Amino acid sequence: MLHRTTRSLVLTDEGQRFPETAQPVLAALDRALNQARESKDEIACRLWIVGPKLSFAPILMPVIDEFCRLYPQVQPDVQLDDGKSNWVLERVDVGFRIGTSPDEGVIARRLFPVQLMICAAPSYLERHGAPKSLDDLATHRCSAFRHPATDQVLPWYLNIDGEIVHRHVSPMFSTNDTELELQAVLAGQVVGQVANLAAAAHIREGRLVPLLLHMSDHIGVHLYYGSRAA
């Protein structure tokens, strides 16, 4: 299942993901459009689409663009939000979330897994060297993500011998924003655990170097739909 290197894994998965994702997303958008038409009794209508900041632009926006070409009268209203909200009550037409499982009370489908990769910038590795093992991380400057809802610093999630293991790091940098954490890693401040959705382009251009083969893929991007009719 895993390729020999983290570099080949992330780039291979990135290339395969789009065709696998496009069909169910387009179908969900089409369903939401039909529901919106029935409720508004008009062809031109607004579709409320909610997605995470992390994956929407590189992965999901091309699908939205294709849908808008098919239905140029549709008016997408896209809100990027990494937090959780009650989409049923808020009447969201189509939503995307990154997590371990769909929320209760909504129709959902897992589109694809998200791999969490340990990465560092070349400038960091020049100054501090690369960790050779997980135990070496204790001597490195690491980042951590602070959950925006609970304010808790989350552990790193690692795949060790096929099992997902939580490993707490002593962060030299923590934030509740995934983009800011990525920027800290790119700047060479810290070693971080970054989602492959965000890391792929930077690895391809040589701005990030993947470290250690312990990538976790227990979380995924989920597609939520049908809340307008709820």
Within a domain: 196: yes
**75, 46 contact by CB (below 8 A):** yes
Q: Which of 8, 193, 205 is nearest to 115 (CA)?
A: 193
| Domain extent at residue 108 | 6-113+220-229
Residues 74 and 161 in one domain: no
Strands 156-160 and 163-167: antiparallel
pTM: 0.75
Does 126 share its domain with 208?
yes
Please give the average pLDDT of every successive group of 10 residues along the chain, which has 230 residues. Answer: 42 45 63 58 69 75 82 85 61 79 70 90 98 95 90 93 92 93 97 91 94 87 62
Q: What is the pLDDT of residue 56?
A: 72
Domain membership flag for residue 130: yes
Residues 28 and 70 in one domain: yes
- 108 and 15 in a single domain? The answer is yes
Do 33 and 62 belong to one domain? yes
Residue 1 inside a domain? The answer is no
37 falls within a domain: yes
Residues 17 and 108 in one domain: yes
Are 214 and 224 in a shared domain? no
Q: Are residues 90 and 153 in the same domain?
A: no
Both 19 and 106 in a single domain? yes
Amino acid at 220: G
For the domain that residue 39 is a member of, what is the CATH number? 3.40.190.10
pLDDT of residue 186: 98
Do 79 and 157 lie in a common domain?
A: no
Q: Are 47 and 74 in contact (CB under 8 A)?
A: yes
Q: How many domains does the chain have?
A: 2
pLDDT at 154: 94
Residue 105 resides in a domain:
yes
